[in-house]
Amino acid sequence: MAWASDRLILYCPRSCCDCAKGLIHASAKKMLLKALLVVSLLFPFCTSIDTIEMDQHVKDGDLLVSKENIFALGFFSPRNSSSRYVGIWYAQKDEKDQKAVVWVANRNDPINDTSGVLTHKSGIKD
């Protein structure tokens, strides 16, 4: 075994084919490790948010999902309706592939298009 400037040179007394297989195998391992590193670095940026700050808003099409992936908040339209509502539903769909809505903010005042925005106003008391 000998070192070159940036790589390891292996001395193999066996046939050249055996050496080539070993080098290819080592190269594949190195590439896999690099790919895993890149994926692990990107993972935190692929998670959904579960809180909204004072200066943020939720537009139609955005979705807030609870940390445990139990509830989701967003805009939705009931089946066979074009009206839009802000609601909370179970994040996992039921057996019929439907959202099980548990709360609706604007039940008596639906939105007629997809221009809705949910904001957090200052001055609201808990």
Percentage of the residues of the chain whose pLDDT score is greater than 70: 59
pLDDT of res. 83 = 95
Distance CA 106, CA 86 (A): 6
Domain ranges of the chain: 2-45, 57-119
User: Does position 110 have pLDDT exceeding 70, yes or no?
Assistant: yes
Distance CA 83, CA 111 (A): 6
What is the SS3 assignment for the chain?
CEECCCCEECCCCCCHHHHHHHHHHHHHHHHHHHHHHHHHHHHHHHCCCCCCCCCCEEEECEEEECCCCCEEEEEECCCCCCCEEEEEEECCCCCCCCCCEEEECCCCCCECCCCCEEECCCCCCC
User: Does position 111 have pLDDT exceeding 80, yes or no?
Assistant: yes
Distance CA 66, CA 91 (A): 8
Average pLDDT, the chain: 74
Tens digit of pLDDT for each residue in 45-100? 444 566 777 778 888 988 888 888 899 999 999 988 999 999 999 988 777 777 88
Rounded to whole angstroms, what are the CA distances from 96 to 24, 82, 85?
Answer: 50, 20, 21
